Structure 1
Amino acid sequence: MLETQTQITPSPLIDLESIQKKTINVAVFGHGNVGSLLINQIVASQKEISRRRDIEISIFAIGNSKSVLLQEKGIDAQWEQTKTSEGIPYSVEDVIQFAHNNSLENCIAIDNTANADFVANYPLLISGGFNLVSSNKIANTLGLDFYNGLRNKLTLHKKEYLYETNVGAGLPLIDTIKLLHLSGENITRIKGVFSGSLSYLFNAFSEKEELFSSVLHKAIEKGFTEPDPREDLCGNDVGRKLLILARELDLHNEFEDVTIQNLIPKQLRNVSKEEFLKSLTDFDVPYHIKRANQSEDHVLRYVGDLHGDLSKNDGAILDVKLVSVPKNSMLGQLKGSDSLFEIYTESYGENPIIIQGAGAGATVTARGVFGDILRLSDRVN
């Protein structure tokens, strides 16, 4: 009996480094505090992300209201100097055309502006092949016609739009609410402290017998408020965040549906910023009275509250107001500039899901935007 021998030729070793990695091409619009921190975070993490995952993140465009820097191979750590010397006037169409001309795939547009005009470019970017990530809340708080039209366009072009930082900065709030809602969980109420600046203000004001104007001065000096603190104190920002959450539950609310308690004394609402900042003592008497008239062991908190019969899609009751809560409650124990959200559901009953942490700050917000970019990077083809 003859034996046959089969010669086995060993397969060549696979060079893992030679495997083509997926490149994510990013265009960043807005490079102020959040935008510049985001760009620097991405540049600093590029090598580590490439080593640990099968993706390369390349920032090919950096633009603001005046100019854009376009680089096919991506920017480096000296991007600010390069943009100063090589930035050119542009339109969003120019960025889209640059991506097409250079066959850039897996494109993501990042909106770090606070600009209502830039939001008008979202449909154009989607049609041009871009997914969207935004820290800008405006698109999600415009009229329902725009809101629904944008989502229809995303579906039509098979693109995604992530905006975790719209509420709670870097906290995983919107993602949690989306997952609960999509899984069929009946969310019955969401309430909490939505503003890091107002959290600091009332946490500090409740701890000591200190004048409100003194605490507000400290908040301004620490950079916790907007340059004009009335943008925080009017309550509109908290109202927008509450509206965003309502719409995540498919509730048909408009911004006009939100009842907002304006914290600014009437005589200071329409004066110049300079006059306002000179008149902070006007807050002292009314807020001393509010603090003094509380029940024992209670503290003041500025709270957003989404409630009502949420089983109907015709809308929720949306309230933003200053309330007095027990010191030993979750809201009453809040410290520093943290945000806190209580999510009540049918399954969890009277025990809400609690999400708490740093709800404000440019570094935290930039990290949250970066997280959305990484989520999208795993999904795009």
Structure 2
Amino acid sequence: MKILKFGGTSVANSDNIKLVKDITANQPKGKTIIVVSALGGVTDLLLTALDLASKQDISYEDYLNQIEDRHLKTAQELFSVQHQSKILSEIKSKLNELETLMEGAYLIGEHTAKLSDKVVSYGELLSSFIISEYFKQEGLEAALKSGRELIITNDNFGNAVVDFELTNTQCANFFKNDTHALTVVPGFVSSSRSGGATTLGRGGSDYTAAILAAATDAEALEIWTDVSGMFTANPKLVKQAKAMEHISYEEAMELSHFGAKVLYPPTVQPVLKKEIPISIKNTFQPEKAGTLITKSLAPEARTVRGISHIDAISLVSLEGAGMVGISGISKRLFETLSQENINVVLITQASSEHSICIGIAAKDAKVAASSLNKAFAYEISTNAIQPVKVEDGLAIIALIGDSMKNHQGLSGKMFSTLGKNNVNIRAIAQGASERNISAVINALDVKKALNTLHETFFEENIKQLNLFVMGVGNVGAKFLSQLRHQKEYLRKELKINVRVIGISNSRKMLFQENGILLDHWDKALQEGQAADLEKFIFGVNQLNLRNSIFVDITANQTVAQSYGRYLSKSVSVVTCNKIACSSDYDSYKKLKDLAKEYHAPFLFETNVGAGLPILDTLKHLIISGDKVTKIQAVLSGSLNYVFNNFDQNTTFAAVVKKAQEEGYTEPDPKIDLSGIDVMRKILILIRESGYRMELSDIANKSFLSQKSLSTKNNKDFFETLVAEEAQFQKLYKEASENNCKLKYVAEFNDGKASVGLQHIPKGHDFYHLEGSDNIILFFTQRYPVQPLIIKGAGAGADVTASGIFADIIRIANF
């Protein structure tokens, strides 16, 4: 004997029912029981119609019409013309019975649990009739047997409990004498000992199949659904989730209890004792292996087998000093909930006995709070116990696996993973079997939590980074190009999967949750929405993706001021924008502190030296216990480029213009030439060396006139450079006559800092600095005489982009 159960999606329409027939016809010879659900969505339609009818809302008839249309259309598409008359007549007869029941609810303006059981059973009664008759038409030796004649329950309508002794006897007697090769049974429906119509609860078709399997000692139970087995996580939320080939009964029960909807939680219990294997199969891909469920697996099986969750949870807390050492508190609490038929999903109690916290379905929270406040009214009135607290908008996530008890550190790994992504844990529970670790979290964090945990426990150490890039001009475009070319290398060699989720320039912004194709990002951006910084921040937070990184490739002050809003949501920040780290010290320190508090790296390597590893080297000096005593540096690649290319044969304005066109300067070149950019860089080095200093503390010996510094736009600025060419030629001539070169130097020594143009003689470390190169000399306690020198290209779109790229990789390894 073999039991095959087909869910609502599998029998949703005529095309799907034909697939069910093919699967059934291809079964090996022998007796087979086919258990079917209602056509997909019909049970919900029935419940909605009954609810409206009981409220005397005549629109219930619209739902009845939908139900009728669904079944008549399905039958007309399945049956040949000569068979249709008989079939349609029977369907209409059952629908007339259903209509009479609904009219009764409408007339009296209410409905009972008993009436509800009777009404919702019509979904399975209709589908099983249509399917059994279709099987006969197609030449299968099929018969229809009512589940009400096989499965007997008590009279607890709406929540019936199976009488297994009577049920097993009924099933054994019937199937012992049944000669049909194929028997179709409606799932979900049953009858009470007194003959009343009862049901087995939502998902009860699975339960029906399991009850029949156990009662007949079936060789196998197959659950046919719309997915290829039980997955390591919900595949609708975790795209990398994989079907599990083999799991234990206990793991299956845990997963189904915690929201794995492919299996109704009570299904496993009837077959567990007899060790009847369960297979979860896909009606639409029958060739897939699916998931096999049997007794406990070998110890070497994967430690964590699956990650599941339950939505719509509320936490109900009872606490107070009057609970400590008082026996019977828990008994009264759970008795009160039991009387209200409220199921407790999760329990946690403080070892001090000061509080008990339970997780229940959100729909029950109001009733639970009211009933508990009444039950403990005396204790509340004397302030021994506080009024019940309810927290809504929560969900439960759970790690599940038989072998978890044999491995240390799983809880720490789980909570650390969630913490790094700003997933706050409200309550924790772990059963004595150690097969399950559960945590209550904000419902808005479920998708991020599931993906983060799945990545940690299942994805072969491939870490996914989700980037949101602000500024896709010269440097930004180079960065995206580098990322596109290195994407496969990163995945293959470094086990990093980098996706760009959002991009923005000053005009347009674009979000694509599954990742923006970097081959044509510029065209896609043109079709995006109008750029808006607030909406961009909202979009990043709303997506709430794991390992999110905001990448600022602008020189915009408003953008820099938004970093705290990302860091406080555990969104890492990578920036080449120097404004934030060179703003007032308290703001700089706050960003650093937020990064630590929310485990969100704040990296700005490109603030000084573009792609050169200056800040990274400095950081390791400080970590190792060294102390910086003096800094000398040429920190402006643009100014170095300008003065390396300026001589008596050129004009200063022309050289600056070329530097701007080559991408060596900021869009506003006055930022570079005024010295403010160098001031910011040396300030950042000073602060990262452990000293407190403000930008206003740095002396700026500018070589520009006040007229140049006062200009408001690039056009006026360049006009002043042209007008003052004689002054620039004089600067060059003075240096040349002294066999020196002009270099714009930043210095920090003895607690003081300055920037300005200097004559650099031959033999100095700065003299042969070519092109746009930067050079930094760190004098420290370990390098007191011969400094630690870092030298290389310090400007340009490519090297700046590579520096940003390097910071992204640093975060991946965080």
Q: TM class by shorter-chain length?
A: 0.7 to 0.9
2:746 corresponds, among 304, 308, 311, to 304
> Is 1:74 matched up with 2:515?
yes
CA distance change for structure 1 residues 116 and 297 in 2, over 3 Å: closer, same or farther? same
Q: Comparing 272-281 with 72-81, which one deviates more in the overlay?
A: 272-281
Equivalences for 1:4-43 in 2 at 5 Å? 19=460, 21-43=462-484
Residue 536 (structure 2) pairs with residue 95 (structure 1): no
Higher relative contact order (CA 8 A, sep 6+): 1
Q: Is the Cα contact below 8 Å between 2:468 and 2:500 reproduced in 1?
A: yes
User: Counterpart in 1 of 2:791?
Assistant: 356
Take 1:149 and 1:182, find their aligned partners in 2: how far apart are those partners?
20
Q: Among residues 727, 732, 743, which one is paired with 1:286 in the alignment?
A: 727
Q: Which residue of 1 aligns with 2:767?
A: 332
Mind listing any 5+ residue stretches in structure 2 that lack a counterpart? Answer: 1-297, 302-457
Residue identity opposite 1:155 in structure 2: K
| Distance of aligned partners of 1:209 and 1:82 in 2 relative to their CA distance in 1, 3 Å threshold | closer
Q: Which position in structure 2 is the counterpart of 1:261?
A: 701
CA contact (8 A) 1:213 1:283 kept: no
Query: How far apart in 2 are the matches of 1:211 and 1:88?
Result: 41
Partner of 2:208: none
1:369 to partner: Cα distance: 0.2
Give me the whole-angstrom Cα distance separating, in 1, the residues matched to 2:714 and 2:508: 29
Amino acid at match of 1:234: S
Q: Residues 53 and 290 (structure 1 numbering): CA distance in 2 closer, same or farther, change over 3 Å?
A: closer
Matched, 1:347 2:791: no
SS in 2 for 1:139: coil
The structural deviation recorded for 1:173 is 0.4
**Following superposition of structure 1 onto structure 2, how do residues 224-235 of structure 1 map, counting pairs within 5 Å?**
224-235=664-675
Change (3 A) 1:155 1:74: same
The farther-off stretch of 359-368 and 104-113 is 104-113
What one-letter code is carried by the residue in structure 2 that aligns with 1:377?
Answer: A
Alpha-carbon distance in 2 for matches of 1:60, 1:220: 30
Task: Tell me whether 1:248 sits opposite 2:692 in the alignment.
Answer: no
Partners of 1:115 and 1:248 in 2: CA distance: 22
Normalising by structure 2, we get a TM-score of 0.41
What are the Cα deviations for residues 106-130 of structure 1, in whole angstroms up to 9, with x where unaligned?
1111111211111222121122221
Instruction: Check conservation: 1:61, 1:71, Cα contact below 8 A.
Output: yes
Residue aligning to 2:344: none
Alignment partners' CA distance in 2, 1:156 and 1:216: 43
How many Å apart are 1:209 and its aligned residue?
6.4
Displacement of 1:281 = 4.1
TM-score scaled to structure 1, two decimals?
A: 0.85
Return the alpha-carbon distance in structure 1 between the equivalents of residues 662 and 692 of structure 2: 38
Q: Which amino acid aligns with 1:59?
A: V
Contact 2:702 2:757 in 1 (8 A): no
Aligned with 1:158 (options 586, 599, 611): 599
- CA shift for structure 1 position 150: 1.5
Higher CA-based Rg? 2
Name the CA distance, whole Å, in 2 between partners of 1:116 and 1:370. 22
* 1:120 pairs with 2:561: yes
CA distance in 2, matches of 1:224, 1:283: 22
Counterparts of 1:323 and 1:259, CA distance in 2: 14
Q: Is the 8 A contact 1:265 1:282 kept in 2?
A: no
Check if 1:370 corresponds to 2:805: yes
Contact 2:662 2:796 in 1 (8 A): no
Q: Which moved more, 1:220-229 or 1:18-27?
A: 220-229
Q: Distance in 1 between matches of 2:483 and 2:610?
A: 18
Superposed displacement of residue 210, structure 1: 5.2
> Matched residues in 2 for 1:342 and 1:258: separation?
18
Change (3 A) 1:18 1:123: closer
Residue identity matched to 1:324: H
The answer on 1:237 being equivalent to 2:669 is: no
Contact 2:474-2:663 within 8 A present in 1 as well: no
Deviation at 1:216, TM superposition (A): 4.0
Residues 53-202 of structure 1: pairs in structure 2 closer than 5 A = 53-76=494-517, 77-87=519-529, 90=532, 91-100=535-544, 104-202=545-643
For residues 273 and 122 of structure 1, what CA distance do their matches in structure 2 show?
28
**Shift of residue 249 of structure 1?**
1.4
**1-structure distance, mates of 2:461, 2:625:** 40
Quick one: structure 1 residues 182 and 18, their matched pair in 2 at CA, closer, same or farther if it must change by over 3 Å?
Answer: closer
User: Which letter maps to 1:141?
Assistant: S
Q: Distance in 1 between matches of 2:638 and 2:541?
A: 40
Identity %: 34
Q: 1:288-331: per-residue Cα shift (whole Å, max 9, x none)?
A: 433444474322211011111xxxxxxx2110011112122110
SS at structure 2 position matched to 1:179: helix
Q: Are the structure 2 counterparts of residues 128 and 297 from structure 1 closer, same or farther at C-alpha, using a change threshold of 3 Å? A: same
Say if 1:38 and 1:370, in contact at 8 Å, map to a contact too. Answer: yes
Kindly state the Cα deviation for residue 29 of structure 1 after the two structures are TM-superposed. Answer: 1.4
- 1:67-112, CA deviations, whole angstroms, 9 ceiling, x for partnerless residues? 4311121111112212222445551342233322xxx211111111
In the alignment, the residues of structure 1 paired with residue 812 and residue 652 of structure 2 have an alpha-carbon distance, to the nearest angstrom, of: 46
Distance 2:471 2:563 in 1: 14
Going from structure 1 to structure 2, the CA distance change for 1:161 and 1:86 (only over 3 Å counts) comes to same
Cα offset for 1:143? Answer: 0.9
Write the deviation string for residues 210-237 of structure 1: whole angstroms up to 9, x where unpaired.
5545544554554543454322211100
